[in-house]
Structure 1
Amino acid sequence: MIDALRRRPVIDLTAALPPSLTPTNIVDLGCGSGQLSRMLAAHWPQADVLAVDNSPAMLRWAAETPSRVRYLQADLAGWRPHWPADLVISAGGLHRVADHDRLFPELLQSLAAGGVLAIAMPRPQDQPAHRLLLETAAGGPWADRLAGALTAMPRHAAQDYYDWLAPQAASVELWETGYFHAVDSDVPLLQWLHQAALAPVMDRLSGPDLDGFLTAYRRRLEGAYPQHSSGSMLIPTGWLFIVAQARNTAAIRQTPSM
């Protein structure tokens, strides 16, 4: 059930891709555990699929599932495809990267003629889970080791993304969706949260230290998301979706890989 609920933003994003799109190369940015990457590889068996993430822990987890997807560890703030890509897609990783006013136009510029930039970004900044994650990281014996690993995420209006992309795009579609997920009381809250949110912690803590952090975080979550009389917790999540298509001309600019 949890995996099905988490797939809903992915389903909504991929359903908005142009029906005529037949990519020969795909880049999945912020791939996390690789579920979207593997789905795209199965849907377009002729396409080369490169999945990129900055978390070694998430990439190790992704690689445990056999597939033909290629994985690459790279800093999403600086890495760009060094070839014109037919589809650059992201379902949850770019909301943690700064400088969207530079990042998003550069991703659009990395597309081949007629290529598509498709982004789904959660909007967790105003949710208790994100605030409590930052508080837990800063308030325990692990604070020094987690310094800089978890930072406040940028939040821009849909109009900003349109203004950044529209001058160079053939078309730009944007929409926001709010999902309300009823989670049964027998489902641990930490299991509900997307694993990518905890990836920076898992990269720096292990063993008893990681267990201690997760225990402290879980206690805070249980206070913020109380069980209701129905026996379930209703957890809201908001997402911003962007689908921009490059003009049907030569690639605007090739950006070297970093």
Structure 2
Amino acid sequence: MPVWDDRQYLKFADERTRPARELLARVPLEAPAEVVDLGCGPGNSTALLHERWPQARLTGVDSSPEMLARARLDRPDIHWLEADIASWTPARAPDLIFANAVLQWLPDHPALLPRLFGLLAPGGVLAIQMPDNFDEPSHAWMRNLPGPWSEALQTVRQGPRVLQAGHYYDLLAPHARSVELWHTRYEHVMADAAAIVDWVKGTGLRPYLEALPASQRAAYEAAYLAALDTAYPPRSDGRRLFSFPRIFLVARR
């Protein structure tokens, strides 16, 4: 996994938190006792859970010590746990597992999602949001940018991990009381193409930059910026629309 930078990630905190708010609004629980924010990052989504259920036992789980250090600094009153999400098992069965923009980093969703669902307490909810942007220009150019870095970038994953909505339904519906799925395409208004690069440097672009020798990173980033400058053309006011699709899932046990 890449080394995360909480400051870079939080440059677009409002935009990154909006999907978490929309996912949380659809969670059909009144007063869960045990809540887990899986892949909590710097804690911006965990803060939303605390606002809604201040009496719940709330745990933020992440594999990044850098992100958890920021979370602990901002919210020392919340329990933070460093763990590998792929193998994490809770001490107590949660009423809610909330996973906002994290599971796209993990492989084998046909095994992973039923496992997470099976960890829930009876009546519990698995709530997931994942970027579905593998084929968007912002991410396709990360992988396919021609240049002397092509061989080094082959070490970064080349295939999508997010499945189509119907696959998730088929995985969980036989075991769930209800499964709700929806797909949203956000159109984020950005100042210019450089702002889009700044956004993805906090998430998807990091593994590609880290795979390159330091001597190639500046040239790669300049070529990537030029590609995005064409892929996301100026609108009538000179700004750019960063089109960002996301898939949402809420399943109740």
> What range is the shorter-chain TM-score in?
0.7 to 0.9
Aligned to 1:14: 24
Q: Is the 8 A contact 1:27 1:52 kept in 2?
A: yes
Query: What whole-Å deviation, never above 9, does each CA across 1:17-61 have from its counterpart, x for those lacking one?
Result: 11x431222111222222101221232222222222233343344
Q: What is the letter of the counterpart of residue 195 of structure 1?
A: G
Aligned to 2:49: 40
Segments of structure 1 that go 5 or more residues without pairing to the other structure are 247-258
Q: Is the 8 A contact 2:196 2:242 kept in 1?
A: no
Q: Is the 8 A contact 1:53 1:73 kept in 2?
A: yes
Q: Is the 8 A contact 2:142 2:208 kept in 1?
A: no
**What is the TM-score when the length of structure 2 is the normalising length?**
0.80
Q: Is the 8 A contact 1:10 1:120 kept in 2?
A: yes
2:190 counterpart (183, 188, 204): 183
3-state SS of 1:126 partner:
coil
Aligned to 1:155: 162
Distance of 2:207 and 2:220 partners within structure 1: 12
3-state SS of 1:33 partner:
coil
1:130 aligns with 2:151: no
Sequence identity (%): 36
Aligned to 2:34: 25
More strand by share: 1
Distance of 1:203 and 1:186 partners within structure 2: 21
Query: What whole-Å deviation, never above 9, does each CA across 1:109-135 have from its counterpart, x for those lacking one?
Result: 100111110011110111111122234
1:234 counterpart (232, 241, 246): 241
Q: Is the 8 A contact 1:180 1:234 kept in 2?
A: yes
Aligned to 2:200: 193
Distance of 1:53 and 1:158 partners within structure 2: 25
3-state SS of 2:134 partner:
helix
Distance of 2:213 and 2:51 partners within structure 1: 34
Q: Is the 8 A contact 2:62 2:83 kept in 1?
A: yes
1:100 counterpart (74, 96, 109): 109
RMSD: 3.1
1:69 counterpart (74, 78, 98): 78
1:90 aligns with 2:88: no
Aligned to 1:250: none
Label 1:220 to 1:150 Cα distance change in 2 as closer, same or farther (>3 A): farther
Label 1:126 to 1:141 Cα distance change in 2 as closer, same or farther (>3 A): closer
Task: Give 1:172 deviation, angstroms.
Answer: 0.9
Aligned to 2:60: 51
Q: Is the 8 A contact 2:20 2:129 kept in 1?
A: yes
Label 1:152 to 1:141 Cα distance change in 2 as closer, same or farther (>3 A): closer
Distance of 1:151 and 1:57 partners within structure 2: 26
User: More deviation in 79-88 or 185-194?
Assistant: 185-194
Distance of 1:137 and 1:75 partners within structure 2: 34
Distance of 2:168 and 2:128 partners within structure 1: 11
Task: Give 1:191 deviation, angstroms.
Answer: 3.0
**What is the TM-score when the length of structure 1 is the normalising length?**
0.79
Task: Give 1:8 deviation, angstroms.
Answer: 2.5
